[in-house]
């Protein structure tokens, strides 16, 4: 993703309008590069820039990351009373803002705006013809993710005891087999579960590594499917 993505035209549609407004919100505030390099950031620099291009609906994790620095204010967030690993994603930072502070209201307005956009776009997709199904090999990027996840499982000593993960066991088996790729939120949960079996594990580091690796793997599958559809289309035209 280029350092300066295309500036979206807000007249082209609601997605472009949202991306344009998000860019405007970030003017004069923390740069995308700075946010991407922050220790608490789990989404990639490419995903953050893509959210500002208006080419596709960004994930809630990506939008939440930008809004935390641009609509909210981490310096006034109140510390949590206890570690609540399963309640921090993806909008929990809003709840840490002072109850009556204007930043809390402003952040909630932006969250609502994004949720409405996501609802409308996902609703439209239900009525679109489904993309042609194609079969692709496991991309190198996904193979790297599988290798990294397998190394964590081995480090946790669970190679032959995945059943200890309980309800997460079937999912973990699918990820290791290359049948699917976890969402960012699932990566976050898996990192926490695996870290429980690793002495002195850094939960944050594990989470960031898994999330970014899975994100790259998902993008690679989208890329390879697009290429495969293009080749099939060319072959079809050649035989007509």
Per-residue confidence in pLDDT tens, the chain, 240 aa: 444 567 889 999 999 999 999 999 999 999 999 999 888 888 888 889 999 999 889 999 999 999 999 999 999 998 765 555 444 568 889 989 998 899 999 999 999 999 999 988 877 655 455 556 778 899 999 999 999 999 999 998 988 888 888 878 888 899 999 999 988 778 888 888 888 888 888 877 888 888 889 989 988 988 898 888 877 656 555 555
Same-domain check for residues 104 and 157: no
Same-domain check for residues 22 and 112: yes
Same-domain check for residues 106 and 167: no
**pLDDT at residue 86, rounded to an integer:** 45
Same-domain check for residues 115 and 147: no
Number of domains comprising the chain: 2
| Cβ burial 193-216 (10 Å sphere, 16+ → b, else e) | bbbebeeebebeebbbbbbbbbbb
Same-domain check for residues 47 and 90: yes
Residue 221 and residue 136 in contact, taking contact as beta carbons nearer than 8 Å = yes
Same-domain check for residues 108 and 145: no
Which of 125, 154, 177 is the last residue before a domain boundary?
125
Which of 97, 125, 153 is the last residue before a domain boundary?
125
Nearest-angstrom CA–CA distance, 120 and 115: 9
Asked whether residue 19 is domain-assigned, the answer is yes
Asked whether residue 8 is domain-assigned, the answer is no
Print the domain residue range for 210. Answer: 140-239
Nearest-angstrom CA–CA distance, 16 and 94: 25
For the chain, the farthest-separated pair of C-alpha atoms sits apart, in whole angstroms, at: 67
**pLDDT at residue 46, rounded to an integer:** 85
Asked whether residue 159 is domain-assigned, the answer is yes
């Amino acid at each position: 993703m280029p350092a300066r993505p295309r500036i979206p035209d807000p007249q082209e549609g609601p997605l472009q309008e949202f991306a344009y407004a998000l860019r405007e919100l970030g003017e004069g505030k923390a740069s995308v590069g700075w946010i991407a390099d922050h220790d608490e950031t789990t989404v990639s620099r490419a995903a953050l820039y893509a959210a500002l291009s208006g080419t596709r609906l960004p994930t809630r994790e990506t939008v939440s990351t930008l809004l935390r620095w641009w609509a909210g204010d981490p310096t006034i967030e109140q510390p949590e009373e206890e570690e609540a690993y399963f309640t921090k994603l993806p909008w929990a930072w809003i709840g840490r803002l002072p109850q009556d502070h204007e930043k809390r209201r402003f952040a909630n307005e932006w969250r609502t705006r994004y949720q409405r956009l996501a609802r409308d776009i996902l609703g439209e997709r239900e009525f679109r013809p489904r993309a042609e199904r194609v079969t692709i090999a496991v991309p190198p990027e996904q193979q790297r993710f599988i290798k990294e996840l397998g190394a964590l499982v081995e480090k946790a000593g669970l190679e032959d005891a995945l059943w200890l993960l309980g309800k997460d066991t079937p999912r973990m088996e699918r990820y290791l087999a290359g049948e699917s790729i976890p969402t960012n939120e699932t990566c976050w949960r898996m990192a926490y579960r695996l870290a429980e079996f690793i002495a002195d594990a850094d939960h944050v580091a594990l989470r960031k590594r898994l999330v970014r690796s899975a994100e790259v793997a998902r993008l690679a599958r989208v890329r390879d499917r697009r290429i495969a559809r293009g080749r099939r289309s060319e072959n079809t035209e050649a035989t007509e």
